[in-house]
Amino acid sequence: MNKISITFLLIFSFLFSSNIIAQNKNDSLPLFSSKREKFEEKFYEAIKQKGIENFSRAVKILNECLEFYPNSAVIYYELGDVYLKIKNFDKSEYNLKKAIAIENKNFWFKEKLFKLYLIQENFDKAIKALIEVLKYRPYYKADLANIYIKAGRYIEALNYIQLMDDRYGYSSERDRKRIKIYKITSDQDGHINFLKYRFETEPKNYNYFIDLIYALSEYGLESEAFNTAKTFLKQNPSSHIAHVALYKFYLKQKDYENAISSMKIVTGSNVLLPEMKLRVLQDFIDFVRINPSYNYALLSIESTNSLDDSNLSNEKWGSYYFENNQFQKALDYYKKAFEESSQDVNIIKKLAQLYLKTNQYQKALEFSLEYLEIFPTQIELYLICGKSQFYFQNWNDAIEVLEQGFDYIYEENNITMEYYELMVDLYTKNKNPEKVKEISYMIELIKSQ
């Protein structure tokens, strides 16, 4: 049985389980009268035409169906649905409202009307329609706050979010909606006061503490945020979460020793979430790039293995060690990441690069060649393969590989420069001055931009 047949049976069974059967309760016509048979034929044809997107034909036949049963809610619903598909919104609304007037308790009719208003971005009408839908499908509650926001009815949105929070407890999703409203309305005081109230009611809740600190910092209230963090630590001296905030403040104040101390507490914590620990760690890595004299602090973290319990992904660990120029460590983790995701092209490229950086030239050559067959547009793999061949002084083979990848250079970046510079070296080794001149010109063009 095809899709249209199933749709027809479902609609038709519903049709005759409600109004039409009621209409014909005392009808002298037998159940399978010629009138009923003619209607069935037309209605089936209308659904079929709708299914093949012959909408004008479907509308015509559905109107003919109304001549048989002028008070059929389902026929009006189908007309409303067809008009919606062809974006004749006025007629769609008219027919859906007719269907609802006949069968006021039908969820599907009301849901379709709600979706019509959403498509039109008529949010005020959508809100009114959704309130009716909520009587039957409470899972739409999350949508109501969104539509209040889209309608610009921010106070109602906040009141509704608060109602949901009071009933079900706070949720990150509703918090995001709150923040969105505060941002749109530039209500900094409202945002801060809400976070303060929530933190004051549950002063031991680490999440509420972090939310408040981040908001204060975002609004430029650094001094208040710093004092809040210090007060929290004073009240909770063994707290690790306080140092997530304090670390950043110390860093901004150039109190580097206290910043490092807080950073070590965070990264060595066995209670903080991995995401928090990684955020602080990555931030400190960025700091060390600019201030390399503090690299010793990074090395001390690595040697203590204090982050082993953080459940960070192997790829993230590999990235951490790569950034810290600990290439063998990075290679170990990227191998594990590759075992987990052997078709992830970013992991493959990084692994090939690490084989090269750890002087495993044969492995780099074999690995890059193998995966160039699967990912033939990745110029990083051509570059690694070319460098490996260069190490083995296979000038011709290296040139052949790089020339194959030449067509896949789509942008001018550091990798492209490295690619061209290697080609110049190879053409020089191969005594091809014309090619050297050609590629050198391309390098100068990039440098001049």
pLDDT of 30 higher than 80: no
pLDDT of 381 higher than 50: yes
For the segment 241-264, the average pLDDT, to the nearest whole number, is 91
For the segment 404-420, the average pLDDT, to the nearest whole number, is 88
Alpha-carbon distances, residue 260 vs 239, 255, 257, 310, 408 (angstroms): 16, 9, 5, 19, 44
Pairwise pLDDT comparison (258 vs 267), residue with the higher score: 258
Name the least confident of 6-10, 11-15, 317-321, 337-341: 6-10
Confidence tier at 302 by pLDDT (50, 70, 90): low
Confidence tier at 344 by pLDDT (50, 70, 90): very high
Q: How far apart are the C-alpha atoms of 211 and 172, rounded to whole Å?
A: 11
Q: What is the mean pLDDT of the chain?
A: 86
pLDDT tens readout for residues 53-89: 999 999 999 999 999 999 999 999 999 999 999 999 9
pLDDT of 303 higher than 80: no
Pairwise pLDDT comparison (306 vs 361), residue with the higher score: 361
Query: Cα angle vertex 35, ends 64, 92, to 5°?
Result: 25
pLDDT of 41 higher than 60: yes
Q: How far apart are the C-alpha atoms of 156 and 346, rounded to whole Å?
A: 46
Confidence tier at 313 by pLDDT (50, 70, 90): confident
- What's the whole-model pTM score? 0.53
Q: Please give the pLDDT value at position 311.
A: 54
Of the candidates 392, 388, 385, 386, the residue with the CA atom closest to the CA atom of residue 424? 386
Q: Please give the pLDDT value at position 24.
A: 43
Alpha-carbon distances, residue 252 vs 247, 249, 259, 429 (angstroms): 9, 5, 9, 51
Q: How far apart are the C-alpha atoms of 439 and 447, rounded to whole Å?
A: 13
Q: How far apart are the C-alpha atoms of 266 and 278, rounded to whole Å?
A: 9
> Concatenated DSSP letters for 154-203?
HHHHHHHHHHHHHHH---HHHHHHHHHHHHHTT-HHHHHHHHHHHHHHST
Q: Please give the pLDDT value at position 321.
A: 82
Confidence tier at 312 by pLDDT (50, 70, 90): low
Q: Please give the pLDDT value at position 419.
A: 94
Q: How far apart are the C-alpha atoms of 337 and 314, rounded to whole Å?
A: 5
pLDDT of 27 higher than 60: no
Confidence tier at 33 by pLDDT (50, 70, 90): low
pLDDT of 401 higher than 80: yes
Of the candidates 173, 172, 126, the residue with the CA atom closest to the CA atom of residue 148? 126
pLDDT of 5 higher than 70: no
For the segment 285-290, the average pLDDT, to the nearest whole number, is 84
pLDDT of 257 higher than 90: yes
> Letter for the amino acid at 213?
I
Alpha-carbon distances, residue 288 vs 295, 298, 331 (angstroms): 6, 8, 22
51's tokens: 């299914």
* Phi, psi at 186, each rounded to 5°: 55, 40
What residues contact residue 394 under an 8 Å CB cut-off, 6+ apart? Answer: none
pLDDT of 359 higher than 90: yes
* Percent of the chain topping pLDDT 90: 55
413's tokens: 């970046």
Q: How far apart are the C-alpha atoms of 367 and 283, rounded to whole Å?
A: 33
Neighbour count for residue 120 (Cβ, 10 Å): 16
SS3 state at 305: coil
164's tokens: 């949901």
Query: Cα angle vertex 193, ends 187, 197, to 5°?
Result: 150
Alpha-carbon distances, residue 316 vs 217, 268, 336, 343 (angstroms): 27, 17, 11, 17
SS3 state at 24: coil
Which residue matches tokens 């970013």? 346
pLDDT tens readout for residues 147-172: 999 999 999 999 999 999 888 888 88
User: Is 322-449 assigned to CATH 1.25.40.10?
Assistant: yes
* Phi, psi at 239, each rounded to 5°: -70, 135
Q: Please give the pLDDT value at position 157.
A: 93
Q: Please give the pLDDT value at position 169.
A: 87
Q: Please give the pLDDT value at position 297.
A: 84
